[in-house]
């Protein structure tokens, strides 16, 4: 991915606001999307993601702010959550819908090309009611890409698929989007989906972006409490700076204070955010901390244990799933905190 500074954005949104019945839905949103980028907007249901997408598509007018496209007549493709395939048209006609009808040969060629790319050639004569969910999703994407849009918008494209279909289709879709080389904005509530597909992610809460950045930064360096809690799993434990200000004291022991940390500067109470992978299960090392198991969530190759520390606070630890500790068992962990995340305490 090229550096942002070298590229002009394909889409630029400035101070976008939208209200419905005088209730603010979107507040002062700013974003830029660049060529060949897949930009994910991640947020819980009802935070305004789909409304933002509709505004970008021109289907809804914003109350305030600007949406600027690099090209004057920017063509926008849209993949709806329920695919919105025209029920009275065949798959071929659905895909061809956005193409100029004057040249039928070229239309057929383009449809055949997309059908081969999305592996739906054998479905061209069928109707939407005769295809499966995964096939409908591919048809919908092919239809959006047929007119060669300058920007592709996708509203939770995998939400109607089961886990197996999702795991199969996500890498396929990513590959096809890269091939098509169309800048894409994908809206989802599924973090795994955002991490799998997105180059950059915007975490959205109550109509505002709380953090925008690469997937690594979003996960390992969340800028606020909401982003930390929303992304992945983790727990907050009390933390207090030491007298010399060089360390932080917690129930997990003393941890070096991160450089430039502003959370402790005003001497208000703070909390340390700990992810499961920060606490490594280790029964043998002498430096280990002892905790007791509260519960276990089996995740296939690994398990996430919820642990109670001596202080009474609860944290999570990731361990290979062959460790069969039951609730109440003693569980030793070694602290390996690569990212120290301190946030002001919520009262």
Partner 1 sequence: MRLSINRPAARFDYFSLGVAFCVAAPIAYVLFHSLQKISSVLGVYPAEMWVAAVLKTAGLMLGSAAIALATGTASAFLLHRYKWPMQKLWKFSAVIPLAVPAHLYALAALSYLDPQGYLQSFLREAGLNIYWDPKSFVLLCLTVGISLSPYCYLFMLGAMRRQDLQLEDSAKLLRPKARWLKGLWGLRLALLAPPAAASIWFVALDSFGNLGASVVLGQDTLMTLIYDTWTGLYSFESAISLSMVSLSVFGFLFFISSNKAMPQNTQRSWNKSKPKGKTAAFGFLFLGLFFLVSTALPLALFILQSFRQLTGPANLQRLISQLLYSTGLAVVVAMLCAFFGMLLVFNQHRLKTPRWLVEIGYTAYALPGLIYGVSIYLVYVAGLELFGLQQSILFSFLILLFALSAKFFAVSSKSVHSILSYQPAELMESALLLHKSWPHYFKCVFWRGTRPAWFSGSILIILEVLKEVPITMVLRPYGFQSLSTEVFDLTAEGFYGRASLPALALVCLGFLFLYLLDPESRDS
Residues that bind partner 1 (CB under 8 A): 54, 57-59, 75-78, 80-82, 84, 86-88, 97-98, 101, 143-144, 147
Report the sign of the C-alpha dihedral through residues 299, 303, 307, 313, in that order.
negative
The residue with tokens 């992978």 is 277
Q: How far is the CB of 236 from partner 1 (least distance, A)?
A: 37
Nearer to partner 1, 78 or 219 (CB): 78
Q: How far is the CB of 76 from partner 1 (least distance, A)?
A: 6
The encoded tokens of residue 223 equal: 């800028």
Rounded-to-integer distance, Cα 245 and Cα 192, Å: 37
List b or e across 17-30, with b for residues whose CB sees 16 or more CB atoms inside 10 angstroms.
Answer: bbeeeeeebbbebe
Rounded-to-integer distance, Cα 295 and Cα 292, Å: 9
Rounded-to-integer distance, Cα 219 and Cα 120, Å: 36
Q: How far is the CB of 65 from partner 1 (least distance, A)?
A: 20
Q: How far is the CB of 55 from partner 1 (least distance, A)?
A: 12
Q: How far is the CB of 82 from partner 1 (least distance, A)?
A: 7
Nearest to 11 by CA among 54, 71, 53: 71
The residue with tokens 């990212």 is 339
Q: How far is the CB of 87 from partner 1 (least distance, A)?
A: 8
Nearer to partner 1, 89 or 251 (CB): 89
CA-based max dimension of the chain: 78
Could you tell me where the beta strands, DSSP code E, fall in the chain?
11-20, 23-33, 38-43, 64-69, 76-79, 151-155, 184-188, 200-205, 208-214, 235-241, 247-250, 253-256, 270-274, 279-281, 289-298, 302-308, 314-320, 330-335, 341-344
Nearer to partner 1, 74 or 294 (CB): 74
Q: How far is the CB of 335 from partner 1 (least distance, A)?
A: 48
The residue with tokens 């700013």 is 30
Q: How far is the CB of 59 from partner 1 (least distance, A)?
A: 5
Nearer to partner 1, 189 or 332 (CB): 189
Fill in the DSSP letter of residue 232: S
Query: How would you class 72 by CB atoms within 10 Å of its CB: exposed for 0-12, middle for 13-18, buried for 19 or more?
Result: exposed
Nearer to partner 1, 87 or 320 (CB): 87
């Amino acid at each position: 991915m090229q550096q942002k500074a070298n590229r002009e954005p394909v889409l630029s949104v400035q101070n976008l606001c939208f209200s419905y019945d005088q209730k603010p839905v979107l507040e002062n949103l700013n974003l830029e999307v660049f060529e060949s980028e897949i930009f994910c907007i991640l947020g819980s249901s009802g935070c305004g993601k789909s409304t933002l997408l509709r505004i970008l598509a021109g289907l809804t007018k914003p109350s305030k702010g600007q949406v600027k496209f690099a090209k004057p007549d920017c063509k926008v493709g849209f993949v709806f959550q329920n695919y919105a395939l025209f029920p009275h048209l065949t798959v071929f006609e659905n895909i061809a819908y956005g193409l100029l009808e004057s040249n039928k040969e070229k239309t057929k060629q383009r449809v055949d090309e997309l059908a081969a790319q999305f592996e739906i050639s054998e479905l061209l004569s069928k109707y939407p009611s005769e295809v499966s969910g995964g096939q409908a999703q591919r048809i919908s994407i092919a239809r959006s890409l047929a007119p060669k849009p300058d920007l592709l918008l996708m509203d939770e494209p995998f939400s109607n698929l089961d886990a197996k279909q999702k795991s199969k289709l996500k890498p396929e879709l990513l590959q096809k989007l890269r091939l098509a080389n169309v800048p894409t904005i994908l809206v989802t509530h599924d973090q795994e989906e955002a991490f799998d597909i997105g180059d950059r992610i915007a975490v959205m809460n109550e109509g505002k972006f709380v953090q925008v950045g690469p997937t690594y930064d979003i996960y390992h360096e969340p800028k606020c409490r909401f982003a930390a809690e929303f992304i992945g799993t983790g727990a907050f434990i009390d933390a207090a700076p030491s007298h010399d200000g060089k360390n932080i004291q917690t129930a997990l022991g003393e941890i070096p204070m991160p450089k430039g940390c502003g959370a402790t500067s005003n001497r208000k109470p703070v909390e340390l955010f700990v992810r499961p992978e920060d606490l490594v299960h280790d029964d043998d090392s002498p430096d280990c901390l002892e905790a007791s198991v509260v519960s276990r969530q089996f995740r296939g190759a690994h398990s996430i244990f919820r642990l109670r520390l001596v202080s009474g606070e609860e944290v999570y630890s990731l361990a290979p799933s062959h460790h069969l500790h039951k609730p109440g068992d003693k569980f030793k962990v070694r602290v390996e905190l690569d990212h120290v995340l301190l946030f002001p305490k919520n009262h």
